[in-house]
Amino acid sequence: MTEEIKIPAEFPRGSDVAGKRVVITGAGRGLGRLLAHAFSQAGAQVSLVARTETDLKTVAAEIPGESLVFSGDVTDAYFNDSVADAVVAEWGGLDVWICNAGISPIVAGPCATDPAVWRQILEVNLTGAFLGARAAARVMTSGGRLIFTGSVLGERPHEGLSAYGASKAGLVGLAKGLALDLALSDITVNVVAPGWFDSPLAETWKATPARAERVLAHTPQGRWGAAADLPAAYQFLASDASAFITGTVVNVDGGYLLK
């Protein structure tokens, strides 16, 4: 054992994603749209995936960089495979796949939750992520990055959101398992778990003062997350600087899970 750490001749540039070939699912709106803007502005080539082609074309027209558009169903294994193959054919490879597509169509207790809705949430949020990761891993080479969008609700459940919380908790287990499976292929797998953000999705909660106060009471920083708070975590995990980080969860929550 040496007494001194060997200093590298060159360090990776933190969160540098310029030139990365990135797939973002759920890119037609919300967080996916935000990530599309952030990665494109940072110099990445961005492939946009969602169900609605018109939404995707709108986002593609908004962002400054090169993009591809794929409309389809993330719960379809063939669709995921076709996206991966098309990106490789067009851009020569695939570096990052962000499994961001997700739904939470209801806020209801178990007796008011239709079993079909439960299955749909798990199918999109969990199975869709697995199929995307599977498609990406098939074509990725050394240095590939898989990133799942989780949620603090995967660790701290909230009443009325058991299906959503279960799907996000499942993503953590999936990420850890895939991290082991893909480690020797030098493909990392991680989760970004957002807390409570000031977004259209949060409007339902903010409309009820008691709910809004409870969220802020559990957030040590005392505020809702802002759009600018979130993309950097994804960009870091997508960059070369995160090469030795896999199977972990990055909570971007203002300390919500600490209380």
**Per-residue pLDDT, 208:** 87
What dihedral angle (degrees, nearest 10) is formed by the CA atoms of 219, 225, 228, 229?
A: 30
pTM assigned to the model: 0.95
> 3-state class of 234 per DSSP?
helix
- Please state, in angstroms and rounded to a whole number, the distance separating the CA atoms of residues 210 and 111: 24
**For residue 48, what is the domain's CATH number?**
3.40.50.720
Domain that holds residue 225: 21-254
**Per-residue pLDDT, 5:** 78
**Per-residue pLDDT, 178:** 99
Q: How many domains does the chain have?
A: 1
**Per-residue pLDDT, 7:** 66
**Per-residue pLDDT, 109:** 87
> Which residues in the chain land under pLDDT 70?
1-2, 7
- Identify whether the C-beta of residue 122 lies closer than 8 Å to the C-beta of residue 170: yes
Q: Is residue 14 part of a domain?
A: no
Q: Is residue 93 part of a domain?
A: yes
Indicate which residues carry an active-site annotation. Answer: 164
Q: Is residue 9 part of a domain?
A: no
Q: Is residue 11 part of a domain?
A: no
Q: Is residue 42 part of a domain?
A: yes
**Per-residue pLDDT, 2:** 54
Q: Is residue 141 part of a domain?
A: yes
* 175-205: b (≥16 Cβ within 10 Å) or e: bbebbeebeeeebbbbbbbbbbbebeebeeb
Q: Is residue 3 part of a domain?
A: no
